[in-house]
Amino acid sequence: MNEENELSYFKGGLAIGVSLGIISGIASTLWYQKQRTVDADLVLENVKEAFLKEGPIEGSWIEFEKKPLRKFAIHSKTYNGGISRLEDGVMVQYEFTADALTGTVIDVKRIKE
């Protein structure tokens, strides 16, 4: 009878351990998915691809450091970057802001010279 109790305790402890492992694995996966950001190079490639549809570009850049952005109640991490190209023989520069979590371009501004 004593051996049966020990085996029962072992099975109960094993079940609790496995359950805790599964729960913590799911929780850490969900946390990682929420914290994961899109690579800055990929964001820049997507922006360049969109600009290339309208014509050639001369240069591009992106800051790899994520910066916080707050617009009203919305908080986000963003990348800032730029594109330059010739338009009617004049060099024109654009700056863009992209969401670091999704890679979506939030804003594009033409820089006046």
Q: Which fold has domain 40-111?
A: Nuclear Transport Factor 2; Chain: A, (3.10.450)
Domain spans, the chain: 1-36, 40-111
Angstrom distance (rounded) from CA 103 to CA 79? 9
Which pLDDT value is given to residue 43?
A: 95
Which pLDDT value is given to residue 113?
A: 62
Residues in contact with 12: Cβ distance below 8 Å, sequence separation at least 6, in sequence order: none
pTM of the model: 0.69
- pLDDT per residue as tens digits for the range 20-77: 888 888 888 777 777 778 899 999 999 999 999 998 999 999 999 999 998 888 888 9
